[in-house]
Amino acid sequence: MPQNRYWTLISLMLGGGLLDQGTKWLAKSYLSSGASLPILPNIFQLTLSYNTGAAFSMFRQQPQILAAFTVLLFCALMLYAFRKQFYYRGESVALGLILGGALGNLLDRLLLGKVTDFLDVVIIHYPIFNVADSLIFIGVIWLVILYLCQPNTNPSSSDSEPHADCSNAHDASPCAR
């Protein structure tokens, strides 16, 4: 991986983790647990909540196992990111966002034993989430789009058929759907 991609990855990981922790600190400083602050009435509000489980409160009863698994997963993703040869522009950005979100939630798990959530989209009754969750979601979507819409430039791949090119959104590629 070229040197500037390491810096991109590390900067996004550390910046994302700091942004997440900063917004959680603000939420805990200005919101009471369970109380809501409407931002866009009946659409979006801030609601302080804590989650001892994983996504959608899974593994709520085993916080130590979940914390250990989270540490292992974070380390595996770090190893993958630093050993991977990047073929598409933006892969290091997407992985940096994912790692930044993972770092933010990992810090909560290790320091508090639970994850702080506060972003509440009430119009669709979506579970309360945080900035880290958003970073992970954006990073994953970014990777999916990159892998679907970039030509296959992996020289070791036996599949020489390129994927759709997203630069021409008017064509009938999967990216234009």
The residue behind tokens 């892998």 is 147
20, 108, 120, 133: which is the annotated catalytic residue? 133
CA 118 and chain centroid, separation? 16
The structure tokens listed for 86 are 């990047």
CA 27 and chain centroid, separation? 19
- Write out the H or E segment, with its range, that includes residue 46: strand 44-51
State yes or no: is 117 an active-site residue. yes
State yes or no: is 133 an active-site residue. yes
List CB contacts of 91: < 8 A, sequence separation 6 or more: 84, 143, 146
H-helix segments, 31-151: 63-83, 91-112, 131-149
20, 108, 117, 120: which is the annotated catalytic residue? 117
Measured CA to CA, the distance from residue 75 to residue 155 in angstroms comes to: 27
Catalytic residue set? 117, 133
